[in-house]
């Protein structure tokens, strides 16, 4: 009766683990085959109403939770989308993530979040680990990566959306705005208002190269316009209001000619405004202050902060939407989207 070449005795159910209810348990309890349970859950319309009801009731009764790993392995499909960002400390990324989250969750996907702390090696490592989840797509902040990260993602043959900045060379798809252009627009605004020595205040600008791009855009515009000059103030760390708070007096002491300051972001700029207020430094009388991002608080300080509003949540939504389209095989009108930005001139300049 038994196969000729099977000297091996039947073993106990292998490891002593997994007390959890499985699909087969449900099937047995409901008196149907496992595959019918699978279908009742994943493609309800292909199962008759009676059975479907019976299966659902049994699922409920046993507290069955499908094992995603098994499903994913069998179908070679996961509903997890890795999202890689440089940092969570920066509100901006959080808002983008919210946009992503709401979009992909509505489509039944889950987010696997990784943060690189602005370290490209960590980014490569994260990308590699996360690809191990055989995701249907990847969302990645920024356009600058190590060559091996790009290779990895290209070889993985999954749709990839790089978000935050808009640029010509992307791995696959791209959603963002031009930071160089944003810098130029702010420079134009400041020159227009008559300021002649414009400082840019940033931190960790090798890592935060988008801030550097804004500076580059500003610098080039000022150089081309003539009649004004720029100066860069770079701090080694931090990105919050405390930096702006300290930078303001530092900078004015170091370079008294400065009559306008463009901060790398609104948080820093708000810090500077608060400091000016406390110390009685006239804004924009002594120095004009501008920020970037358009955080709600920029409108609440006195004087209200001139800033550039970036559509952060929209970036997240668009990136996710684009990715989902590609996952679903919908043809895309375009692989790159420039979401733009809006200069919001207020009383601080």
Partner DNA sequence: TCAGATTTTGGTTGCGCTACCAAAGTTCCC
Partner DNA sequence: GGGAACTTTGGTAGCGCAACCAAAATCTGA
Closest CB to DNA among residues 59, 322: 59
Q: How far is the CB of 43 from DNA (least distance, A)?
A: 8
181-208 b/e with 16+ CB inside 10 Å = b? Answer: bbbbbbbbbbbeeebebbbbbbbbbebb
Residue 10 burial (CB count, 10 A): 7
Closest CB to a second copy among residues 24, 129: 129
Q: If binding is defined by CB under 8 A, does position 17 make contact with a second copy?
A: yes
Cα→Cα distances 27→38, 46, 51, 56, 188, Å: 9, 16, 11, 11, 69
Side by side, which strands form the sheet with 288-290? Answer: 229-235, 197-203, 260-263, 288-290
Q: Partners of 203 in the beta sheet?
A: 235
CB 279 within 8 A of CB 299: no
Residue from 155, 237, 328, 334 binding a second copy (CB under 8 A): 155
Residue from 1, 6, 76, 168 binding a second copy (CB under 8 A): 76
Q: How many residues bind a second copy (CB under 8 A)?
A: 58
Instruction: Decide which of DNA, a second copy, none touches 311; Cβ closer than 5 to 8 Å per partner kind.
Output: none
Spatial distance between the Cα atoms of 154 and 138, rounded to a whole number of angstroms = 11
Closest CB to a second copy among residues 67, 325: 67
Residue 19 exposed, middle or buried by CB count within 10 Å (0-12, 13-18, 19+):
exposed
Q: Partners of 232 in the beta sheet?
A: 200
Instruction: Decide which of DNA, a second copy, none touches 270; Cβ closer than 5 to 8 Å per partner kind.
Output: a second copy
Interface residues with DNA (CB under 7 A) are 6, 8, 10-11, 13-16, 18, 20, 22-24, 32-36, 38-39, 41-42, 45-48, 50-51, 64, 66-67, 70-71, 73-77
Of 41, 24, 44, 43, nearest to 32 by C-alpha is 24
Q: If binding is defined by CB under 8 A, does position 130 make contact with a second copy?
A: yes
Closest CB to DNA among residues 37, 323: 37
Residue from 35, 57, 61, 73 binding a second copy (CB under 8 A): 73
Q: If binding is defined by CB under 8 A, does position 281 make contact with a second copy?
A: no
Q: How far is the CB of 331 from a second copy (least distance, A)?
A: 21
Q: How far is the CB of 128 from DNA (least distance, A)?
A: 13
Instruction: Decide which of DNA, a second copy, none touches 332; Cβ closer than 5 to 8 Å per partner kind.
Output: none
Q: If binding is defined by CB under 8 A, does position 67 make contact with a second copy?
A: yes
CB 210 within 8 A of CB 238: no
Q: If binding is defined by CB under 8 A, does position 152 make contact with a second copy?
A: yes
Q: How far is the CB of 75 from a second copy (least distance, A)?
A: 9
Residue 32 burial (CB count, 10 A): 18
Spatial distance between the Cα atoms of 66 and 24, rounded to a whole number of angstroms = 11
Q: How far is the CB of 207 from DNA (least distance, A)?
A: 33
Q: C-alpha angle 33/36/38, rounded to 5°?
A: 115
> Which ranges of 193-283 would DSSP assign to H, the alpha helix?
209-225, 241-254, 266-279
The binding site for a second copy (CB under 8 A) comprises 3, 15, 17-20, 63, 65-70, 72-73, 76, 78, 80, 88-89, 91, 94, 97-98, 101, 110-115, 128-134, 151-152, 155-157, 240-242, 245, 270-271, 274-275, 277-278, 296-297, 300-302
């Amino acid at each position: 009766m038994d196969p000729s070449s099977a000297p091996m005795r039947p073993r106990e159910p292998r490891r002593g683990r997994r007390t959890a209810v499985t699909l087969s348990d449900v099937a047995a309890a409901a008196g149907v085959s496992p595959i019918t349970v699978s279908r009742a859950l994943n493609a309800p319309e292909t199962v008759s109403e009676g059975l479907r009801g019976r299966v659902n009731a049994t699922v409920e009764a046993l507290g069955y939770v499908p094992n995603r790993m098994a499903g994913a392995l069998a179908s070679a499909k996961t509903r997890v989308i890795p999202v890689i960002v440089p940092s969570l400390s920066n509100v901006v990324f959080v808002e983008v993530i919210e946009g992503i989250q709401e979009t992909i969750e509505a489509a039944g996907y889950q987010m696997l979040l990784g943060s690189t702390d602005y370290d490209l090696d960590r980014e490569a490592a994260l990308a590699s680990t996360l690809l191990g989840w055989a995701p249907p797509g990847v969302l990645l902040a920024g356009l600058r990566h190590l060559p091996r990260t790009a290779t990895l993602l290209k070889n993985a043959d999954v749709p990839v959306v790089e978000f935050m900045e808009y640029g010509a060379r992307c791995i696959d798809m791209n959603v963002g705005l031009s930071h160089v252009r944003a810098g130029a627009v702010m420079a134009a605004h400041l020159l227009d208002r008559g300021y002649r020595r414009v400082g840019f205040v940033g931190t960790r600008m090798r890592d935060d190269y988008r801030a550097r791009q804004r500076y580059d855009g500003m610098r080039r515009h000022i150089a081309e316009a003539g009649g004004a000059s720029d100066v860069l103030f770079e701090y080694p760390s931090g990105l919050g209001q405390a930096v702006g708070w300290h930078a303001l007096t530092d900078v004015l002491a170091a370079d008294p000619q400065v009559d306008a300051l463009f901060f790398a972001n609104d948080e820093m700029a708000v810090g500077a405004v608060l400091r000016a207020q406390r110390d009685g430094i006239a804004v924009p009388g002594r120095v004009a202050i501008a920020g970037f991002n358009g955080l709600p608080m920029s409108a609440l300080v006195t004087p209200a902060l001139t800033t550039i509003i970036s559509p952060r949540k929209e970036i997240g939504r668009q990136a996710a939407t684009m990715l989902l389209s590609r996952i679903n095989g919908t043809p895309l009108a375009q692989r790159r989207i420039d979401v733009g930005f809006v200069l919001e001139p207020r009383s601080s300049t």
